[in-house]
Amino acid sequence: MKILIIDNNSRHIKKLIALVQSEGYVTDSIKWNDQNLLQKQKDYDVIILSGGRGLAVPDHREDLAVEMSLVKNTTKPVIGICLGFQIIADSYGAEMIRKNVQEKGLINIDVLHPEKIFEGKRHFSAFVAHK
C-alpha cells in the first residue's frame, strides 16, 4: 500500500514518516502548498494529512483551499492528524471552536467504516493534544 503524507508544517513529520514506514508501508511526503497536490495524490492508496502549526483553519481557508478540495473530491481514504482532521471536518462544514482547556492523553477510537488502512481493527487508542 502506498501512502501519501501531506506535511502541514508539522514538527513531527519525520517521526510520522518513520512510524508509517516501520509498519511496512511505502510513503512519500509533500508540503501542503505543493501546486501539484491534486495530481500527485492519484498515485497513492491512502492520504494522511499531518498536524501542523501556524495554519489555523478558520484563518487560512484560502491558503488550504487545494487541500480542502482534495478532501472533498478524492475517492481514497483520508486520515487527518490534528490540523489535518480539522481540515477534513471544516471541508464538510464543521465549525471549529477553541476550547478553554487543553486535552492531552490517550483516547479510544471506534472504527465505524472499515477501510483497508485499519487492517481489520475495530478499536484502537490514539494520543490527543489539542484545544
Q: Is 103 exposed, middle or buried (0-12, 13-18, 19+ CB in 10 A)?
A: exposed
The confidence score (pLDDT) of residue 86 equals 92
CA nearest 75: which of 118, 36, 117, 46? Answer: 46
**In CATH, what number is assigned to the domain containing residue 36?**
3.40.50.880
Structural domain of 92 = 2-96
Q: What is the pLDDT of residues 10-42, one digit of tens each?
A: 999 999 999 999 999 999 999 998 888 888 999
Question: Hey, what's the cell of 107?
Answer: 483516547
The confidence score (pLDDT) of residue 53 equals 79
| C-alpha distances in Å from residue 127, one per residue of 20, 33, 73, 104, 108 | 16, 26, 28, 7, 9
The confidence score (pLDDT) of residue 7 equals 95
CA–centroid distance for 27 within its chain? 14
128 falls within a domain: no
Q: What is the pLDDT of residues 43-77, one digit of tens each?
A: 999 999 999 877 788 888 898 999 999 999 999 99
72 falls within a domain: yes
111 falls within a domain: no
9 falls within a domain: yes
Q: What is the mean pLDDT of residues 75-86?
A: 93
Contact call for residues 82 and 51 (beta carbons, < 8 A): yes
**pTM score, whole prediction:** 0.80
Question: Total domain count for the chain?
Answer: 1
